Amino acid sequence: MDLRQLRYFCAVVREGHFGRAAASLGIAQPPLSRQIQSLERRLGVELLHRTQKKFEVTQAGLLLYERARRLLDGADQAVDDVRRLGSGETGRLTVGFAPSNAFTLLPPIVARFRSAYPDVELELRQLTTSILVTSLESGSLDVALLRPPLSSRSLQIVTLIREPFLALVPSTHRLAARSDMQLRQFAGEPFVMYSRVGLPLLHARVMDMCRRAHFSPHIVQYAEQIHTVAGFVAAGIGVAVAPSTVTRFNMPGLRVLQIAENPAPLAMAMAWRTGTATGLVRNFTRIAREATSAWQAAQRAESA
């Protein structure tokens, strides 16, 4: 069976006239006549009963017309659906994210993606970074938001955002009037530190910074969340180091200083399996980049 011939035949039946049908198909009349004849020969059935100059559709022709229309519609529908699935306008996308994103980058990204691709089923899973990586590699996740560094040859990584680390002191602190400081000036100071289990990456990064500055922080308080750390500092319990997100909190009693050593910023990245050229992932990563830019712009506008 050839769909072209079915399309031609349907046009002839619909128009009731070879000339008009040919015009509507954008071809000349003779080839149309020939295609219909060929179709009849192949089926071995008279579809149009030619009765001097005019023709009438036979019973078999009518049956074929019905079936052909359904087939053509089905084919169009199939093409459309496959195109949409291929281009990532539809389908199912499983996104993993580290807990640190749950209240920051994830919401704007998801919101933007949902409005851009309402027909995509988006499944979100909050997981730890190590599980995110293995899930990506095994294919149970399509894309993930996590903190670098991560070493996997099979994954593609794009950094979305880099937050410089800042020093936090109470406004009553001796450094409160300055705009920057050296990290080693925190040696011996009462230090508010991130929980090793709740925020392992921040804990490790800050501990590492202190080590590089040749001191071990005098920890007086642990906290489970970044804004809790900021709160403790504002309350005068001690000093701390935090990613620049803290400037959003605008807490009274809190002073924020640049760190002269300029430690490597805290990055947030997006990862997916290399070779996953599926439109869904392509679209998601694009949207994520857009949403991140927009979110950063909004942040800047807010703090200004």
Q: Which residues form the interface with its own copies (CB under 8 A)? A: 1-4, 43-47, 49, 51, 58-60, 63-64, 67-68, 70-71, 74-79, 81-83, 85-87, 91, 275, 277-279
Distances (CA, A) of 219 to 50, 191, 236: 98, 5, 14
Decide whether 23 or 220 has the Cβ nearer to DNA: 23
Residue list 246-265, contact with DNA (CB under 7 A): none
CB-count burial class (<10 Å; 0-12, 13-18, 19+) for 151: exposed
Structure tokens at 211: 């080590």
CA-wise closest residue to 232 among 192, 290, 197: 192
Cα 60 to Cα 156: distance, rounded to the nearest angstrom: 57
Cβ closest to its own copies, residue 68 vs residue 183? 68
Are the C-beta atoms of residues 156 and 127 closer than 8 Å to each other?
A: no
Minimum gap (Å) between residue 156 Cβ and DNA: 18
Write down the least CB distance from residue 47 to DNA, Å.
10
Nearer to its own copies, 93 or 168 (CB): 93
Distance in Å, CB of 53 to its own copies, minimum: 14
Closest CB to its own copies among residues 113, 232: 113
Nearer Cβ to its own copies, position 13 or 68? 68
C-alpha 276/C-alpha 86 separation (Å) is: 12
Out of DNA, its own copies, none, what residue 30 binds, judged by CB under 5 to 8 A for its kind, is DNA
Tokens of 61: 């022709």
Cα-Cα-Cα-Cα torsion 283, 289, 295, 297, nearest 10 degrees, comes to -130
The pattern of x and - marking residues 23 through 62 that bind DNA according to CB under 7 A reads ---xxxxxx-xxxxxx-----------x-xxxx-------
Applying CB under 7 A, which residues contact DNA? 2, 4, 17-19, 26-31, 33-38, 50, 52-55
